[in-house]
Each structure stands twice: as C-alpha cells, then as structure tokens.
Chain A
Amino acid sequence: MAAVESVTRSQSARRPGADAWEIYRQSPTAMLGLVLVLLISVLAIIGPLVYPVDPFEIIWAPMSAPGTTEHALLGTDYLGRDILAGLLVGAKATLIVGLTAAALTVIIGLVIGALAGFYLGMIDEILMRVTEFFQVLPPLLFAMVLVTMLSPSLWVVAVSIGVVSWPPTARLARAEFLRIRNLEYVTASRASGVRQGYIIWRVILPNALPPLIVSATLTIGTAILFEAGLSFLGLSDPNVMSWGLMIGSGREYMLDAWWIVTLPGVMIFFAVLGVSLVGDGLNDAFNPKLRRR
C-alpha cells in the first residue's frame, strides 16, 4: 500500500520543486520560520498604514512603560517617541537591508563562483585570490570602513553588507559548478551544439541553485544582524528608523527603561530566527539524500 502511495505521489509531482515543497511543508520548524517571516513582512508592509504614527515625533512623556498609557501602546523611548511606530516602520528598513544585501551577495558570489568554477585555469586563480582577499578582511570592520567613507544612508549600509559577505557564496557556487560541469548531461548538451553561455546559465545554474538559495536565505539573517550592529555603533542612517537604530540610541537607558532596547531586540531575534528556520527547511527540502527516504 505504501509503495502504491509513493508511486502516485511521485507521478503527481510535476516539477522537481513540487517535491521540495512537499518535504518543506512537513517540517514544523520550517513552517514556523515561514510564518514568522510572513508576519514580519506583513507588519512592514501594512503596519505603518494601519498605525500611521511618525516614529520620530514626540507624542508622550519620555520613558513611559508599555501599557501605562493608551497614547503609546508599547511605551515611549527616552525622547517620548512611540516605540510601536518605531517597530513597524523599522521592520521595513530591516527587510530592505536584509533583502538587498542578500541579493547583492548572491549576485556577486554567483557570477564570480560560476565563472571560476566553469572556466578554471587562470580565471579561477585570479577570481579565487580576489575572493580570498575579501574573505580575510574582518567583515564588520570592513563594512564600518565602507559606511564611514560613504554617506551613511540605508542603501549604502545595504550595499556595504553585500560587498563584505559574498565570498562564502562565491566559494559555494564555484564548488557546485565544479561538480556539475563534468556530469554527463552537461557533456550531452554540449554534444547537441549549445553555446557556452547556455551551458553556464541554463544547464549548470538551475542545477546549482538549491544550495545557493539556502545560503542566500541564511545571508538575509546575517545581514539583518549586521545592520543592527552598524546601527548600534551609530553608523547607519539616523533619519531612517530601524530596529538597530532604536537599540543603539536607547542603549544608555537600558537599566531605567528596559523596553526601549528589548522590544526591537526581540523583533530582530524573531526576524533572524524566522529567516534561519526557513533556510534550514529549504536545506532539508533540497537535500537529495533526505529526499529519497
């Protein structure tokens, strides 16, 4: 009976991706991660519309604890600004930085890794030495230098984080390309006369994507932490509300008003947890060793 079921299931799965979703769905932690990520995205997108309070505006007495006033549900910070408004608006900044940095990481890492792993030889040598150069610089320090040199806007922060975090992705992409370039279906498609560009981007890349998607997801989490770290050090855009900025500016009042730093801290915790769980779930879903069980 079980055999019959497995046969019908494998036949109903049209695309290889459908199998992966089936596995992903069965993992409670992966689904929890997905829910967290969706929840935070919803907060970022519709939160400010439902609760249109300017997070920089002083609305009530400073350092009001959560629940003590109906004017600010989650209390106010050391200047009397609404914490809830800060959390909602800050979600957007956090997501923008996380996604931009991760996208940049994947794009740079993928192109460099793909070219190195496909062409080998001199190209590989040069690109891998460049990658190592970037890899040996302490990333936080490197990002701080970049942000300080340029103007500390949200986009500069996002790009800086991307620029310092691509080397592991490049190595991963290179390893996948090295593995796949010698597989029989690559030779077979060469034998059908396709161009090199087609082989790199249409034959090898789609087969190399699963681990790269996983690593990109995890990079979002790292980027969010990076942004928080830079903001904490006072290096991000002071005119854009973000969770890191809230923590950074409220750190002196940590003992008197715990909620100023704790609430954005909890948000960062859940955002990074959610993204990491999604990454783990994707890893299991794409892993061929687990798939055939």
Chain B
Amino acid sequence: MSVLKVDHLCVDYHSRTGHIRLVDDISFDIQPNKTLAIVGESGCGKSMTALAMMRLLPDGATITKGVITLEGDSLTDLPEAQMRDIRGASMSMIFQEPMTSLNPVFSVGEQIAEVLRLHTDLDKQQIREKVQALIRSVGISDAGQRSSAYPHELSGGMRQRIMIAMALACSPKVLIADEPTTALDVTVQAQIFSLLRDLQARTSTAIVLITHDMGVVAEMADDIIVMYAGRLAERGSVETVLSRPAHPYTRGLIDCVPHLQLGSNISHKSVTEIPGVVPALETIGAGCPFASRCGLSEEKCEAAMPELSEVRPSHQVACWNYQET
C-alpha cells in the first residue's frame, strides 16, 4: 500500500507571454519506510514537483493536471485550510539552504514549538519536553541550551538538524527533502544522511529525496526517478537503474560522479560531462528534450517524444534508442 501517489502531475507556469510546462506528466508512488530519489539537473522540475506535492507552488505556477493522493485522500482539490493541517503534520518538507530556512528572529526551540502548537493539543509543559526530546533525537547534545539559541548562532549542519527535528515533530507520513545537504560539507552531509536513515527506521516515514547527486542516491534511496526538462526520463529501483541505466541522460549523470581511485593509475578521464545545458522550457518542441545533448540522437528523436516503455519489470524509460545493458 503506497502512502503517497502522484498521478500524471502537470505544473504550468502562467506568464504574460504564455504558458510554460514546468512539470509534464510525472507519476510515481512511494511506500512507507522507503526512500524515493528524484534526480535531475537544476531546472528539471524536481523542486517544482516537491512544492506541488505540498501545494506551495510559487505565484504563477499551478497544478493543471493530475492527482496527488496521500493515504488515499486527494490533496489536489483539498481546501487550503485542510491542506494547512496536512503540511507539517502528515507531510513535511526540509529545504536546501539550512542557513536561510529558519526564521532569524525566533529561537530554534520556539520554532519547533510552533509546529507542535499548530498540530497537537499538548500543553506548554509537554511542548517544552517534546521540543527537547526532538532536539536530542536529531543528535544535538545539551538540548536545553540549544533550544534557546538563535539560528545565527548555529552551524549549517546544526541548523539542518533543527529543520529535520521540526519536520519530524508530528511524525509525518511523508518527508520531502529538497537537496538537504547541498549546502553542507561532505562530512556533515554523511552525518545528516545517517541521521535521516536512523529516523526513518524508527518512524517508517516515507522520504522523497530530491538531489542531483547520484552518489547520494546510491547511499540513500530504494527507488529512483530521473527527470529531464520536466519530464520523466527513467524510473525504477535504484539497483537496476544505477547498475543498468537505460536512458542516455541517466548514464550521463552516473558518469558525472567522480570516482576516487587510489594508486598509480589515477585516470583523469574518469569524470565525463554531459555537453550543453538543460534547454529553456519554452523552446522545447515535439521531440525528446534531451535530443540536442544526446549522443544517440536521430531524426526520430527530434520529431516525437518517446513514451515510457518497459525495459524490464518495474524499470521504465522514455527513450527511442535505449540500450539493454
């Protein structure tokens, strides 16, 4: 039984000059206690997909098609007041920049307490205890002192821990983590991921992890979807997709991860790049959006967008020329 299901989601941006499709026909679902990674370069619609799930799209962007269901209830046509009760309680989100995603004028304890005040009936004393317990649960010692600290007094890793404590305060069913470690040191990054794994094991929260780093995917995720220019490029379990990627874009992303090789034969060619950049969304025609950067591109690719097709059970790819690997 999947806890969150996204069905044919489309997000459009309306501007004076017309519509741009930011997210085009994305479908996935996620089970409790599992982690789904959404992977792609900047501007591929990963964050928009996440914000659409929270119904927090920026001004001008709206969900134009598709259904998002949380435990069987549709979120897409829910009144805003009920959606507010879901945000932070059943579904919560942590953001990329821990340095800027905490309110600078309130102590971190106060900010965690606010979430509890909103979504629970605990009294003052219980809230205070719960805040301390939450701060301890994300691996911060001297919780009593830290809860009265202001965001500018904490390090980036510390702040991200506080964000996680805040997001998990009401034991959500789904946690959306939008590049939670991009702004942090690698060592801190590893700590945050192991913290997320521990917490997941305890609470069986489903995690939607948005990242561009295939290394992170390998470490954290069970399933993966690869997005390119707002569309689904490839989808499957992490083992299959990472070991036998079918879409040339997925292969490109995997080749972009630097391999640490020790010894005499360090190969400087072990890192390859994908030439070019993600095309501007308004310039995408009928064909495959990746065609202009793809080594396998042919006439067919420029002419029509390939449908998702099954490579093997639970591994799908949208490519005319995918290679069995």
Please list the residues of chain A having a beta carbon within 8 angstroms of any beta carbon in chain B.
10-11, 14-16, 120, 182-185, 187-195, 203, 206-207
- With the chains together, A60 CA to B249 CA distance in Å? 98
Q: Which residues of B, 65-119, contact A by the 8 Å Cβ criterion?
A: 84-89, 92-93, 95-97, 100-106, 111, 114-115, 118-119
Across the interface, which residues of A come within 8 angstroms of B86, CB to CB?
193
- With the chains together, A190 CA to B92 CA distance in Å? 10
Which of A120, A185, A192 has its CB near the most chain B CB atoms (within 10 A)?
A192
Q: List 14 A-B contacts (CB under 8 A).
A: A14-B150, A15-B150, A184-B100, A185-B100, A188-B101, A189-B114, A191-B56, A191-B88, A192-B88, A192-B115, A193-B88, A193-B119, A195-B84, A207-B105
* Given A185-B100, A191-B54, A207-B104, 7 additional A-B pairs, CB 8 A: A184-B95, A185-B103, A191-B88, A192-B92, A192-B118, A193-B86, A193-B87
A15-B150, A16-B152, A192-B118 known; A207-B93 Cβ under 8 A: no
B163 within 8 A of A: yes
Q: Which residue of B lies closest to A194 (CB)?
A: B118
A120-B59, A188-B95 known; A193-B85 Cβ under 8 A: yes
Across the interface, which residues of B come within 8 angstroms of A15, CB to CB?
150
Q: Flag if B88 contacts A184 (CB, 8 Å).
A: no
B307 within 8 A of A: no
Q: Flag if B85 contacts A192 (CB, 8 Å).
A: no
Q: Flag if B97 contacts A187 (CB, 8 Å).
A: no
Q: Flag if A10 contacts B103 (CB, 8 Å).
A: no
Shortest distance from the beta carbon of B145 to any chain A beta carbon, whole Å: 11
B238 within 8 A of A: no
Which of A10, A193, A206 is B84 in contact with, Cβ under 8 Å? A193
B129 within 8 A of A: no
- With the chains together, A10 CA to B58 CA distance in Å? 35
Which of A120, A185, A195 is B102 in contact with, Cβ under 8 Å? A185
Which of B92, B105, B114, B152 is A191 in contact with, Cβ under 8 Å? B92
B214 within 8 A of A: no
Shortest distance from the beta carbon of A203 to any chain B beta carbon, whole Å: 6
Across the interface, which residues of A come within 8 angstroms of B52, CB to CB?
none
- With the chains together, A11 CA to B145 CA distance in Å? 12
B310 within 8 A of A: no
B153 within 8 A of A: yes
- With the chains together, A188 CA to B159 CA distance in Å? 13
A184-B100, A185-B102 known; A190-B56 Cβ under 8 A: yes
Shortest distance from the beta carbon of A69 to any chain B beta carbon, whole Å: 57
Across the interface, which residues of B come within 8 angstroms of A195, CB to CB?
84
Q: Flag if B119 contacts A191 (CB, 8 Å).
A: no
B23 within 8 A of A: no
Which of B105, B114, B163 is A194 in contact with, Cβ under 8 Å? B114
Across the interface, which residues of A come within 8 angstroms of B84, CB to CB?
193-195
B226 within 8 A of A: no
Q: Which residue of B lies closest to A192 (CB)?
A: B88
Q: Flag if A193 contacts B115 (CB, 8 Å).
A: yes
B166 within 8 A of A: yes
Across the interface, which residues of B come within 8 angstroms of A182, CB to CB?
58
A11-B153, A190-B56 known; A183-B100 Cβ under 8 A: yes
- With the chains together, A90 CA to B98 CA distance in Å? 53
Q: Flag if B93 contacts A191 (CB, 8 Å).
A: yes
Q: Which residue of B lies closest to A120 (CB)?
A: B59
Which of A15, A191, A195, A206 has its CB near the most chain B CB atoms (within 10 A)?
A191
- With the chains together, A193 CA to B89 CA distance in Å? 8
Interface string of B192-222 (1 = CB under 8 A from A): 0000000000000000000000000000000
- With the chains together, A161 CA to B85 CA distance in Å? 44
- With the chains together, A282 CA to B113 CA distance in Å? 31
Q: Which residues of B, 163-181, contact A by the 8 Å Cβ criterion?
A: 163, 166-167
Across the interface, which residues of B come within 8 angstroms of A14, CB to CB?
148, 150
Q: Flag if B105 contacts A206 (CB, 8 Å).
A: yes
- With the chains together, A164 CA to B272 CA distance in Å? 65
Q: Which residue of A lies closest to B105 (CB)?
A: A206
Across the interface, which residues of A come within 8 angstroms of B101, CB to CB?
184-185, 187-188
Across the interface, which residues of B come within 8 angstroms of A193, CB to CB?
84-89, 115, 118-119
Shortest distance from the beta carbon of B232 to any chain A beta carbon, whole Å: 24
- With the chains together, A189 CA to B117 CA distance in Å? 13
Q: Flag if B92 contacts A16 (CB, 8 Å).
A: no
Q: Which residue of A lies closest to B51 (CB)?
A: A187
- With the chains together, A120 CA to B60 CA distance in Å? 12
Q: Which residues of B, 12-56, contact A by the 8 Å Cβ criterion?
A: 54, 56
A193-B85, A193-B88, A194-B114 known; A188-B150 Cβ under 8 A: no
Q: Flag if A187 contacts B95 (CB, 8 Å).
A: yes
- With the chains together, A185 CA to B98 CA distance in Å? 9
Shortest distance from the beta carbon of A289 to any chain B beta carbon, whole Å: 15
Q: Flag if B104 contacts A185 (CB, 8 Å).
A: yes
Across the interface, which residues of A come within 8 angstroms of B56, CB to CB?
187, 190-191
Across the interface, which residues of A come within 8 angstroms of B54, CB to CB?
191
Which of A190, A193, A194, A203 has its CB near the most chain B CB atoms (within 10 A)?
A193
- With the chains together, A209 CA to B133 CA distance in Å? 33
Shortest distance from the beta carbon of A290 to any chain B beta carbon, whole Å: 16
Across the interface, which residues of A come within 8 angstroms of B88, CB to CB?
191-194
Q: Flag if A16 contacts B105 (CB, 8 Å).
A: yes
Interface string of B228-266 (1 = CB under 8 A from A): 000000000000000000000000000000000000000
